[in-house]
Structure 1
Amino acid sequence: MEAFWAELRLMQGLLAAFVLSGAIGWERESRNRSAGLRTHILVGVSAALFMVLGESLVNSFAKEDNQVRFDLIGILGAVVSGVSFLGAGAIFSDRHGEGAKGLTTAAGLLATAGIGVACGLHLYVLATGATALFLLTLGVLWRVSEWENGRNGEQQAKSSEQKREGQNG
Structure 2
Amino acid sequence: MLREALYAGEPAIGLDVTAIRLVTAMLLGSFIGFERESHDRPAGLRTHMMISLASCLFALVALLLVDLPTGDETALRYDPLRLIEAVTAGVAFLAAGSILTKGDTIKGLTTGASMWLAGAIGLAVGTGNATLALMAAVLGVVILRLLRPLKKGIGEE
1:70-127: CA deviation from partner (whole Å, max 9, x where unpaired): 1111011000000011111111112xx1121110111000000000000001101100
Q: Aligned letter for 1:23?
A: F
Aligned counterpart in structure 1 of residue 87 of structure 2, from 79, 95, 108: 79
User: In the aligned structure 2, how far is the partner of 1:9 from the partner of 1:130?
Assistant: 21
CA drift of 1:21 comes to: 0.3
CA drift of 1:7 comes to: 1.7
Counting only pairs closer than 5 Å after superposition, residues 104-123 of structure 1 correspond to structure 2 as 104-123=110-129
The residue aligned with 2:38 is 30
The residue aligned with 1:17 is 25
The residue aligned with 2:7 is none
Identity among equivalent positions (%) equals 34
Compare CA radii of gyration and give the structure with the larger one: 1
Counting only pairs closer than 5 Å after superposition, residues 92-103 of structure 1 correspond to structure 2 as 92-94=100-102, 97-103=103-109
Q: Which aligned runs of 4 or more in structure 1 are off by greater than 3 angstroms?
A: none
1:33-73: CA deviation from partner (whole Å, max 9, x where unpaired): 00000000000000000000110111123x63332121111
Aligned counterpart in structure 2 of residue 65 of structure 1, from 61, 69, 72: 72
Q: Aligned letter for 2:45?
A: L
User: Which 5+ residue runs of structure 2 have no aligned equivalent?
Assistant: 1-9
Counting only pairs closer than 5 Å after superposition, residues 129-148 of structure 1 correspond to structure 2 as 129-148=135-154
Q: Size of the alignment, in residue pairs?
A: 147
More helix by share: 1
Task: Please report the TM-score for the alignment, with normalisation by the length of structure 1.
Answer: 0.81
